[in-house]
Structure 1
Amino acid sequence: MLLVLSEQHKGHLSFLSTVEPEVVAEFGRITLDFLKRGTSPKIYEAAARKLGVSVERVQCAVEGLMFLVLESCRRTLSDTDFLDSVLVLGFSQDLNNTLLQLYLQQSAQVRSVLAQLAPSLPVYHSLEWRLDVNMSSRALRQQLCPIITLCLNLTSGDASGKVCKLLQARPSTLLHLLSVLEKALDAMKSNHSRRILRNIK
């Protein structure tokens, strides 16, 4: 699977072809620091003074390189796919190899940073339910009004432990929800969905 680069992104990365490979490696280190600790204008200013270019040019190049490494790590590109993706930039073979080495060296650290930034979603633990039936009332004579109360117990990823969510629904609402979920599961088994999932992987 190849990484598709926009024209703006290609323009930001084009600056890398005008500098030495050591500068590209230094930009890679700045990229990793940017991911771990955030942006630092002083680093951009120092690099811009050293190279004799504007601060915006350096910042765009570093952010373009960061996007390239981030997206490549997120899609877990192989060596061949990465080289094919940067081939459209028109860089020399040496610069392409430098970018590949940068990607291979930083991929493990970038993936660990991405894993830390990912939200910890609650996980299903158990479900308790109760059926409440109002046999009759002055407003609803001789009619049953059942309501199902659900206690959904979730285990959160952080130290807070279990969380209980109370839900109330009528049986007709639950039946409708069940039919919608069954349709979604059937749609996942269709050829169209399988083709999309194959392309995503």
Structure 2
Amino acid sequence: MADGDELSALRAENSRLIALLESHGIEWRARQQPSPSSIESSRRSTDEKVALFRRLFRGRTDVFPVRWESKTTGKSGYAPACANEWRAGVCEKPRIKCGDCGHRLLIPLSDAVIYKHLAGDHTVGVYPLMEDDSCYFLAVDFDEAEWRDDARAFMQSCAELGVPAALEISRSGQGAHA
């Protein structure tokens, strides 16, 4: 995709997401101006973007989940990334579940994996609970009937308490994540 086409596509997607937030009555504009020391995202180097992701979503580095989606059933979820997944003669899915497999080889979270996630090549998650039971960030899922009101109240509470938070509409458009 040419740079101009990509920029146009990104602007269109941005407009679509803003309209989706506004249609659900969710405030998306920052209440405070960014500090002069903040760097515009487009001006950050790849390494800076990966480092920012690691700071915001600090979790386990020895393993990470990858999003999967069944083309036949439409079901989706996340599973630990395995170097042997679907490898002929090694992986016995679906006959043997991953958790019961003796050939399971978990892949560590690397900068390259994060870069591919940020570039949209695949969707990965983070296991936020560290092995010592510490946690550095909180993710909240709003998906019941009153999710809009709950999300607004949560964001208002965070603002009043000075807790940094960001809100996004879920992939389905029928919920939100903070």
TM class, shorter-chain normalised? under 0.3
State the TM-score, normalizing by the size of structure 1: 0.22
Which structure has greater helix proportion? 1
Indicate the structure (1 or 2) with the bigger Cα radius of gyration. 1
State the TM-score, normalizing by the size of structure 2: 0.24
Higher relative contact order (CA 8 A, sep 6+): 2
